Amino acid sequence: ILNVEQSPQSLHVQEGDSTNFTCSFPSSNFYALHWYRWETAKSPEALFVMTLNGDEKKKGRISATLNTKEGYSYLYIKGSQPEDSATYLCAFKPGTASKLTFGTGTRLQVTL
């Protein structure tokens, strides 16, 4: 069983704060790292799929970086808004697999 860890487990920030969280995954046999956003009572939706070491992806105020050699990815949210409140999941895909292994997520709550 692959070990995909996310930290922190939960985070509570004020509107306007910038924040970041971490996903750690095995550094060997890397193929792809996915980030999903999961709002309460909805389904997970893909944010980014990252494949190259040093890759940086951006969507609006959300960005992510990838370090495959050391096995981690950071997700950043600039100027958090209440609508950013969700659980953020990362998922690791090794080269040999047809499936993803998900972390347990970071639950973000943004208050006014």
Partner 1 sequence: NAGVTQTPKFRVLKTGQSMTLLCAQDMNHEYMYWYRQDPGMGLRLIHYSVGEGTTAKGEVPDGYNVSRLKKQNFLLGLESAAPSQTSVYFCASSYSTGSSYEQYFGPGTRLTVT
List contacts with partner 1 (CB under 8 A). 1, 31-32, 34, 36, 42-46, 49, 51, 89, 91, 93, 97-105
Closer by beta carbon to partner 1, 9 or else 81: 9
Rounded to a whole number of angstroms, the minimum distance from the CB of residue 77 to partner 1 is 19
3-state secondary structure of 91: strand
Closer by beta carbon to partner 1, 64 or else 89: 89
Rounded to a whole number of angstroms, the minimum distance from the CB of residue 102 to partner 1 is 4
DSSP count for the chain of H helices, then E strands: 0, 11
Task: Report cis status (omega within 30 of 0) of the bond before 8.
Answer: yes
Closer by beta carbon to partner 1, 17 or else 109: 109
3-state secondary structure of 84: helix
